[in-house]
Amino acid sequence: MSALSRSTAPLRHRNYRLLFLSFVVSMLGDGVWLVALPWVAMELGGTSSDLSMVVGAEAAGLISCVLVGGALADRFPRKAVIGWSFAAACGTLGVLGAVHAAGRVEVWHLVTAAFVLGAAAAISGPAADAATPDLVPEKDLHAANALESIVRSLAVRMIGPAIGGLLISLFDALSIILVNAASFGVALACVAAIRTDTGRPARPGEAPAPEQKQGQEQGQGQGQEQDGAPVRYRQALRYLGGERWLWVLIVWSGLVLLLQSGPRQVLMPFLIHNDMGGDARDYGLLIAVTGVAAVVASFLVGSRTPPRDYPRWMLLAWTAGAAPLALMVFLPSFWLLLPLGAVYGFCSTVGNVYWSTLVQSSVPSAVRGRVISIDWLGSLALVPLSALLAGVSAGRAFTVWLFVLGGVVPVLLTLATLRWVVLPTSAHGGGADTEDTDTGGADTGGTGLDGAGTVAAPAHLPAEVAEPAPAALS
Question: What pTM was estimated for this model as a whole?
Answer: 0.72
| Phi, psi torsion values for 230, nearest 5 degrees | -75, 150
Tell me whether residue 212 is exposed, middle or buried, using C-beta atoms within 10 angstroms of its C-beta: 0 to 12, 13 to 18, 19 or more.
middle
Identify the CA nearest to 309 among candidates 416, 421, 424, 474: 424
Domain extents in the chain: 14-195+446-461, 232-426
Q: Identify the top-confidence range among 43-47, 261-265, 437-441.
A: 261-265
232-426 matches 14-195+446-461 in CATH topology: yes
What distance in Å separates the CA atoms of residue 365 and residue 474, rounded to the nearest whole number? 12
Identify the CA nearest to 304 among candidates 36, 15, 2: 2
Type of residue found at 300:
L
What pLDDT is recorded for position 442? 40
What pLDDT is recorded for position 108? 87
What pLDDT is recorded for position 320? 96
Q: Which residue has the higher pLDDT, 136 or 171?
A: 136
What pLDDT is recorded for position 395? 78
Q: Which residue has the higher pLDDT, 238 or 437?
A: 238
Please, are residues 317 and 309 in contact by the beta-carbon 8 Å criterion? no
Q: At what angle do helices 14-43 and 107-135 cross, to 10 degrees?
A: 170
What pLDDT is recorded for position 411? 96
What pLDDT is recorded for position 47? 65
What DSSP string describes 359-406?
HHHHS-HHHHHHHHHHHHHHHHTTHHHHHHHHTS---HHHHHHHHHHH
What pLDDT is recorded for position 202? 38
Q: If DSSP codes are grouped into helix, strand and coil, which group holds residue 149?
A: helix
**Does pLDDT of 211 surpass 60?**
no
What distance in Å separates the CA atoms of residue 27 and residue 21, rounded to the nearest whole number? 10
Torsional sign, CA 366, 144, 140, 244 = negative
Q: Which residue has the higher pLDDT, 431 or 289?
A: 289
Least-confidence region, from 178-187, 277-286, 306-315, 356-365: 277-286
Percent of the chain whose predicted confidence (pLDDT) is above 90: 33
| pLDDT tens by residue, 447-462 | 334 333 322 333 333 3
What DSSP string describes 25-66?
HHHHHHHHHHHHHHHHHHHTT--HHHHHHHHHHHHHHHHHHH
| pLDDT tens by residue, 431-441 | 444 444 443 34
Q: Which CATH number fits domain 14-195+446-461: 3.40.1110.10, 1.10.3980.10, 1.20.140.10, 1.20.1250.20?
A: 1.20.1250.20
CB-side neighbour CA atoms (13 Å) of 441: 24
What pLDDT is recorded for position 231? 62
What distance in Å separates the CA atoms of residue 57 and residue 122, rounded to the nearest whole number? 13
Tell me whether residue 208 is exposed, middle or buried, using C-beta atoms within 10 angstroms of its C-beta: 0 to 12, 13 to 18, 19 or more.
middle
Q: Identify the top-confidence range among 1-10, 202-211, 397-406, 454-463.
A: 397-406
Q: What is the CATH number of domain 232-426?
A: 1.20.1250.20
